[in-house]
Structure 1
């Protein structure tokens, strides 16, 4: 007879958490089609016929400067301008909402949670996305590429957000859709949550060992010991 006992993984108890840091693109707002279209446009401009959709998915996460530096250091500024011009033109047309995200943010705000955005986007485009999705009023703290010397997964952006919110890592949760978010949270000493709707796939995100994986954003409320979303 086997003496092996099956161990069920326990989800972390988040009832002590008072601060939540969110990535933006691919986590709170669905900018995936916009980002992919922008990369494809840029790649077709400089490398005609060479890149397809599946090729540019791996570009999502780090700042544009890092991605384009790896392609051609002499054309970083040029490619960045091409990308941003297309991205800004198509922004409001291609950015979509994720079901349940806004309602979850509203409920967290009503219950007094401290919240911030920590993103590798520039401030102008980050704020534009938040306003488009009507979330800007819930985030007084928005840490973008413009405010830091080091970007995720370096802990600096998360530390700046926590400092602005007067929060501590032990009571903070970082939520995101890429390794930059999960490793960034670990480097800053926070709890971490991945989102199953990551364009890079749930399994890939799970390989970075977040403390938990959210199937939907409203699921977060349950882990925080809050009532589920109410119909309005």
Structure 2
């Protein structure tokens, strides 16, 4: 029986990845010495924004990080709300007695900007954010298992990338792959996580409830 479900944020709760890339490009390119390509930015994914910026801005990373947040917040006008049905899904799970947490690679500040814009800042029992040193989702899952005294089969994670599937395997829990975002690599998800890929929030709701 599932007792806790944790969600990813970017690409799972909202269509925020394009906005993240644009904000990063605008804020950090002046410190990188050239206009950053989308490929360069995506290669930093998995770390929080401090770690991402350190990879490309060098010694000026703190200045770049300082510039990033207001640009990120302003660009949220392009993504003012979560995917349709996400809040209802979470509320349905909670009404059924299931704990709902958030595990994201984002840093705490950008995470809270997004949750506040979405009106979701008080929706989760626990929020685990990313590290500037290494991807840490498997560690965050393990921390939640220990804190809530759960077995691996009582926990599942909803994420939109193959790396989320890998993190869940490392932690020994089930990954439910969110393939409803515009940038989802559906073929790669189906190869990595067969029979657990969902093309819509409604499909996931029907599976869980």
Instruction: Give the shorter-chain TM-score range.
Output: 0.7 to 0.9
Q: Quote how far apart the aligned CAs of 1:113 are.
A: 0.9
The separation in 2 between residues aligned to 1:218 and 1:20, in whole angstroms, is 16
1:174-206 deviations in Å (ceiling 9; x for gaps): 111223422111111100121113425222334
In structure 2, do the counterparts of structure 1 residues 22 and 156 end up closer, same or farther at CA, with 3 Å as the change threshold? same
Which 4+ residue blocks in structure 1 deviate beyond 6 angstroms? Answer: none
In structure 2, do the counterparts of structure 1 residues 81 and 48 end up closer, same or farther at CA, with 3 Å as the change threshold? same
Is the aligned partner of 1:111 residue 2:96?
yes
1:16-58 deviations in Å (ceiling 9; x for gaps): 3222111112111222232022122035423576434465444
Is the aligned partner of 1:102 residue 2:87?
yes
Which of 9, 29, 32 is equivalent to 2:17?
Answer: 32
**SS at structure 1 position matched to 2:6:** strand
In structure 2, do the counterparts of structure 1 residues 170 and 54 end up closer, same or farther at CA, with 3 Å as the change threshold? same
Which of 155, 170, 191 is equivalent to 1:187?
Answer: 170
1:64-109 deviations in Å (ceiling 9; x for gaps): 3443343354333333233223113333554432111111111111
* TM-align CA RMSD: 2.9
Question: In 2, are the aligned partners of 1:65 and 1:76 still within 8 Å (CA)?
Answer: yes
- Could you list the runs of 5+ residues in structure 2 that have no partner in the other structure? none
Is the aligned partner of 1:152 residue 2:136?
yes
1:13-32 to structure 2, matched below 5 A, reads: 16-32=1-17
- Could you list the runs of 5+ residues in structure 1 that have no partner in the other structure? 1-15, 227-232
What is the aligned partner in structure 2 of residue 163 from structure 1? 146
Which of 210, 220, 226 is equivalent to 2:204?
Answer: 220
Judge which range, 72-81 or 29-38, deviates more. Answer: 72-81
Judge which range, 192-201 or 85-94, deviates more. Answer: 85-94
1:22-171 to structure 2, matched below 5 A, reads: 22-47=7-32, 50-53=35-38, 56-92=41-77, 94-145=79-130, 151-153=135-137, 155-171=138-154
What is the aligned partner in structure 2 of residue 201 from structure 1? 185
The TM-score, its normalising length taken from structure 1, stands at 0.75
The TM-score, its normalising length taken from structure 2, stands at 0.82
